[in-house]
C-alpha cells in the first residue's frame, strides 16, 4: 500500500462498525474505526494507529477482506459489499481525488493537484474539474494516464470500487 493513499470504509466496513455483523477481531476493528476517508495510510500507521500493533498488515487485511478501499479502489472481489458508499463529504472526496492524481501522475501531478484543490465544494463542481483535468492531462502529460485518472476519479465520485 502506498503511504500517501487514502483509506475509506466500504459498505461492508460501515456495516461492521454499526452491527458487528462480521465479528472482526478487536485489533482490526480498532483500525477500521480509525479509517475516516481522509487520513493517508502513513497517517494511520504513524499517528492515529501508533498505539496499535502492526497497523500496516491490519489495514491490508481489512482491504483484502473488503472492509476498506484504498484510494477508492477495493482489493476485495466481494461485489457490492466492497464498494465505497458515495460520500457527501466533499473534502474527503477531494482528498481522495488528489491522492489518485498523485498516484497516477507522479512527478507531473503538480498542476492537476492545484486544480483539484481549487475545485468548487460540490459534487458537480468536482466532476467538472475532473473532466477538465482529464483534458489537460491528455494534452500535456499522457493520453493513457488521462484515461486512468478519469476512471479512478469516476470510481471515487460515484463510490464504486
Partner 1 sequence: MAAIFNLEISLVISFAAILIMVFCLLQVYTLKAKIPGGVIGKHWNILVMLVVLFSVGYLATPFFGALPAELMRLIASLIFFFGAIYVLITIRLIYRIIQELTA
- Residues in touch with partner 1 (CB under 8 A): 108, 135, 137-143, 146
> Three-state DSSP class for 69?
strand
Cell of 108: 507531473
- Cα torsion angle, 70, 71, 76, 80, sign: positive
Residues with Cβ < 8 Å from 157, sequence gap 6 or more? Answer: 86, 93, 97, 123, 126, 127, 130
Nearer Cβ to partner 1, position 50 or 131?
Answer: 131
Query: Which CB atom, from 80 or from 143, has the smaller least distance to partner 1?
Result: 143
Q: Least distance from C-beta 147 to partner 1, angstroms?
A: 12
Shortest distance (Å) from residue 142 CB to partner 1: 5
Decide whether 117 or 143 has the Cβ nearer to partner 1: 143
| Smallest gap from residue 5 Cβ to partner 1 (A) | 23
Min dist CB 73 to partner 1, Å, is 24
Task: Return the C-alpha cell found at 149.
Answer: 485518472
- Cell triple for 136: 489537460
CA–CA separation, 55 vs 35, rounded Å?
11
Between 29 and 145, CB nearer to partner 1:
145
Q: Which three cell numbers stand for residue 86?
A: 458515495
Amino acid at each position: 500500500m502506498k503511504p500517501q493513499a487514502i483509506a475509506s470504509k466500504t459498505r461492508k466496513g460501515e456495516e461492521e462498525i454499526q452491527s458487528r455483523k462480521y465479528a472482526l477481531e478487536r485489533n482490526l476493528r480498532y483500525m477500521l474505526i480509525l479509517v475516516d476517508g481522509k487520513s493517508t495510510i502513513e497517517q494511520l500507521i504513524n499517528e492515529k494507529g501508533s498505539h496499535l500493533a502492526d497497523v500496516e498488515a491490519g489495514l491490508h487485511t481489512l482491504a483484502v477482506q473488503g472492509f476498506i478501499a484504498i484510494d477508492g479502489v477495493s482489493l476485495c472481489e466481494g461485489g457490492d459489499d466492497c464498494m465505497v458508499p458515495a460520500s457527501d463529504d466533499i473534502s474527503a472526496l477531494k482528498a481522495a481525488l488528489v491522492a489518485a492524481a498523485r498516484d497516477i501522475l507522479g512527478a507531473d501531478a503538480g498542476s492537476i493537484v492545484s486544480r483539484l484543490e481549487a475545485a468548487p465544494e460540490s459534487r458537480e463542481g468536482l466532476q467538472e474539474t475532473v473532466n477538465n483535468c482529464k483534458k489537460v492531462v491528455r494534452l500535456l502529460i499522457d493520453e493513457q494516464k488521462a484515461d486512468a485518472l478519469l476512471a479512478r476519479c469516476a470510481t471515487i465520485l460515484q463510490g464504486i470500487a
